[in-house]
Amino acid sequence: MIGELSPIDKAKYVAARRAADMVQDGMRVGLGTGSTADWMVRRLGERAQQEDLKIKGVPTSTRTAQLAREVGINVVSLDQAGWLDITIDGADEFDGELNLIKGGGGALLQEKIVATASDQMVVIADAGKEVETLGAFPLPIEVIPFGWQTTRTLIEEVLDTMDVLGTSTALRMIGQAPYVTDEGNHILDLHLQRIGNVRQLALVLNQVPGVVENGLFVDICDQIVIGYGDGRVEVRDINEGTTEVDQPTEGGENLFADLAD
């Protein structure tokens, strides 16, 4: 299986593994959604089996909840868990201040609620997700179905006043039908190209009637774990102002030994 993994998948795997190993016995853990988060959930399941790691996992989507149960993680709701020790999740983009665009997987609302209900948010990503300025990845906005076209018009009017390069919007579709989130809402993807002021945009978008939440995560992420295709892992801590780099083991292959089965 090692040979079948692309460099990007290897990068996602090493980042997810490094972050999952931050989790300690007895923790209440927010479990993110997405391809990188899936690796993290599987690693926590391995630790539960191999180390008798006991945690309470709060998933950010029905997809993550199903995977967590399959790998043996004790799944609870956020209300049951209360406050969380740590949330580990992926990102579609991140900048030098660890601001994020999230929501490519459609779970931005639950992801933001869970992340902000945690002592620490750790983001896992491959190195290709880092950008100088957010906006190349379409910004997801969750909107209620009622009057969504009016909401879209209001958003486009707002964008005309913002420091962005593009203002086009698109309703996310699955085949011929609108995509529906776990909360029964729709998602508008904003093709902005570049966002000049992420804090301002995040605040203004949430004032538009019909908008439930936006995919800008500002001042939420505490650490980011960046994986590289050669097995290197970089850990940046925005609060401590530190950066650590873990080198791959000699030969690189044994990093992925547990994938062989």
Tell me the C-alpha distance between 8 and 165, whole Å: 28
Q: Which of 155, 164, 172 is nearest to 206 (CA)?
A: 155
Check whether residue 127 and residue 31 sit in a common domain: yes
Check whether residue 224 and residue 111 sit in a common domain: yes
Check whether residue 69 and residue 127 sit in a common domain: yes
Check whether residue 255 and residue 202 sit in a common domain: no
Q: Which of 66, 5, 13, 7 is nearest to 43 (CA)?
A: 13
3-state secondary structure of 51: coil
Check whether residue 20 and residue 122 sit in a common domain: yes
**Tokens encoding 21:** 């190993």
By the 8 A CB rule, do 64 and 33 touch? yes
Tell me the C-alpha distance between 92 and 151, whole Å: 24
Tell me the C-alpha distance between 73 and 200, whole Å: 38
Check whether residue 235 and residue 211 sit in a common domain: no
3-state secondary structure of 155: helix
Q: Which of 53, 48, 15, 51 is nearest to 34 (CA)?
A: 15
By the 8 A CB rule, do 16 and 40 touch? yes
Could you tell me what percent of the chain has a pLDDT over 90? 93
Tell me the C-alpha distance between 211 and 145, whole Å: 10
CATH code assigned at 178: 3.30.70.260
**Tokens encoding 203:** 């605040």
Check whether residue 61 and residue 124 sit in a common domain: yes
Check whether residue 16 and residue 38 sit in a common domain: yes
pLDDT at residue 25 above 50?
A: yes
Sign of CA dihedral 124, 252, 68, 81: negative
Check whether residue 101 and residue 207 sit in a common domain: no
Check whether residue 199 and residue 225 sit in a common domain: no
- Identified catalytic residue from 70, 97, 111, 130: 111
pLDDT at residue 2 above 80?
A: no
CATH code assigned at 79: 3.40.50.1360
Tell me the C-alpha distance between 138 and 42, whole Å: 28
State residue 249's pLDDT score: 65
Q: Which amino acid is at 211?
A: V
By the 8 A CB rule, do 58 and 77 touch? yes
For 173-199, write each residue's pLDDT tens digit. 999 999 999 999 999 999 999 999 999
User: In the annotation, is 51 catalytic?
Assistant: no
Check whether residue 104 and residue 166 sit in a common domain: no
For 223-252, write each residue's pLDDT tens digit. 999 999 999 999 999 999 999 999 986 444
Range of the domain at 50: 2-131+219-259
Backbone angles phi, psi at 166, to 5 degrees: -120, 155
Number of domains into which the chain is organized: 2
Check whether residue 97 and residue 150 sit in a common domain: no
Could you tell me what percent of the chain has a pLDDT over 70? 94
By the 8 A CB rule, do 136 and 93 touch? yes
